[in-house]
Structure 1
Amino acid sequence: MVKLSLIVPVLNEAEAIGPFADRVAGVFAPHPDIAVELVFVNDGSSDASLAAMLAVKKPGLRVRVIDLSRNFGKEAALTAGLQHAGGDVVVPIDVDLQHPPEVILEMLAKWREGYEVVLGRRTDRASEPWARGKLAALFYRLHNRIASPQIPENVGDFRLMDRRVVEALRQLPESQRFMKGLFAWVGFRTASVDYSCAPRVAGRSRFSGWKLWNFAIEGVTSFSSYPLRVWTYLGILVSLAAFVFAVIVIFQVLIYGIDVPGYASLFVAVNLLGGMQLIGIGIMGEYLGRNYFESKRRPVYLVRHIYEDP
């Protein structure tokens, strides 16, 4: 008997919860050797999501609902799910059924071969806007070029993790959490299975372009100091260029007596260097802000109530 915990973050997904539970129950009904626990994490939903989660009653499914005190974000909801999941293997999965539950059976087969992490790798992004898919690919390339450890491309939170991996993740103390990076950081023996990302069964995505941009910044600053280091090299480059330009001006004045007009060049130089300094200060502010929030040592989330089947 294998105990499987599915971590399901929920934010205003009342219409999707019923179809999700039906699909999961149908997938695992022919496998009595797999005991399924649904760990719903209610991330401050303002609709009827909590009532829909509590109404889930399916043979073979044990339901636990972690009701957070407010909306803390998906990364915090995943953290709450990892803290409360009791399975031998744990799988974070979206309630909108873009992650097909059938793929979990393939993941379990890989786990039985000895792999401790089995990644769900998307083979297409047809259900997403074209621009979002391209920007996601660009983010993965940029992150993997400047940060360590590398994040597998086209892999989200949908993955199977052995109990040892979950216990390792529970030891990580940071408050500002980029879960894709943390999943990669802990390591362990890893395999992957491919799947096609399906359209949402109901509702709409809560990730706007602005949220995704901030999420990307969070990912880069969590696992790389390259944005800070690059300004050292940029400063050296600008200083060398200024020195070369100064030598040219002195040569022109002393040898040829050329009068060098300065208003336009001075205006451009001041604005260019001022803009560069402000960008550098902004990047330093991102890292300083992370240290500020980490130093407070606030909990990642707060639980209002835990509902679970007897």
Structure 2
Amino acid sequence: MPTFNEAGHIEDLIHATVNAIRHTGIQKIEVIVVDDNSPDKTWEIASNTTCEAADIRVIRRMKDHGLTASLKEGISSASHDIIIWFDCDFTHPPECIPQLLFMISQGFEVVVNSRYIIGGGEDRRGKGSFIQLILSKSLNWGIRFFLYPTFSDYTSGFIAVQREVLKAIPLRGDYGEYFIDFIFRVLSKKYRVCELPYMAMPRRSGESKTGSNILHYLKRGKKYIYTVIRLRFEKLFGLL
């Protein structure tokens, strides 16, 4: 769980996540909260949260902040063979975790919850939500055109991965572009990947890290476009 200023709901999210996984019959549950030294003390609330039959650990990062760096530290600290990560603001509903785990149990190595396949969608409410919806759909359409059109949600960030895949394909990037990079590389390497539908929900509390106006999205989009171009060249010259 990569966090920054999620104090308003981190305790509820931890409990909801553990309960969702427990309903699958899994007994050994590990929750790792990786926090970028949040001013609202998300790390402190998470440290004081307990759940029956779950090992909850908190990593408070004092430097090298950022989404991808946080994910990489959490992954390296995990002790289980199946690793799941998602946005920690309830936009990614914990009740959608069991379907990820089920498909992993069926032999898939990478399973992604997708907004853009039949049955999926987005409940966009609040400031900047309409802009975010339009730009997100447009961005994914463009990425699909230049990369693999059979994959629908290149900016999902709601995923389950077998550890061996992450050893072979480590995360690269800074923010959301890491997901585009990772998905393209696992597809190029012919790993068994599948997408499942889910409904993205409004943020429970706090402010979006992506931003809420068109300038923020365009700034992020530049990195995404650069990543797509780089990946095309890497594949063309056998550098993936």
The percent of aligned pairs where both chains have the same amino acid is: 21
Cα pair 1:14 1:52 within 8 Å, conserved:
yes
Structure-2 residue corresponding to 1:125? 122
Structure-2 residue corresponding to 1:89? 82
Deviations 1:174-204 (A, max 9, x none): 5656311232112310112111112222222
Larger radius of gyration: 1
Q: Larger deviation: 176-185 or 48-57?
A: 176-185
> After TM superposition, what 4+ stretches of structure 1 lie above 4 angstroms from structure 2?
174-177, 225-228
Structure-1 residue corresponding to 2:193? 190
Cα pair 1:149 1:223 within 8 Å, conserved:
no
Measure the CA separation in 1 of the matches of 2:144 and 2:20: 35
Measure the CA separation in 2 of the matches of 1:195 and 1:175: 25
Give 1:1-310 correspondences, 5 Å limit.
8-70=1-63, 72-122=65-115, 123-128=120-125, 129-146=129-146, 148=147, 152-153=152-153, 155-170=155-170, 176=174, 178-184=177-183, 185-187=185-187, 188-208=191-211, 209=213, 210-224=215-229
Report the Cα offset of residue 216 of structure 1: 1.6
Measure the CA separation in 1 of the matches of 2:23 and 2:153: 33
Measure the CA separation in 1 of the matches of 2:174 and 2:21: 35
Structure 1's unaligned 5+ residue stretches are 1-7, 229-310
DSSP-derived class of the 1:14 partner? coil
Q: What TM-score does the superposition give when structure 1 sets the normalisation length?
A: 0.63
Deviations 1:45-75 (A, max 9, x none): 1112111011111112111222111462222
Report the Cα offset of residue 162 of structure 1: 0.9
Cα RMSD over matched residues? 2.5
Report the Cα offset of residue 41 of structure 1: 0.9
Measure the CA separation in 2 of the matches of 1:54 and 1:141: 40
Residue-pair matches, total? 218
Measure the CA separation in 1 of the matches of 2:106 and 2:219: 38
Structure 2's unaligned 5+ residue stretches are 234-240
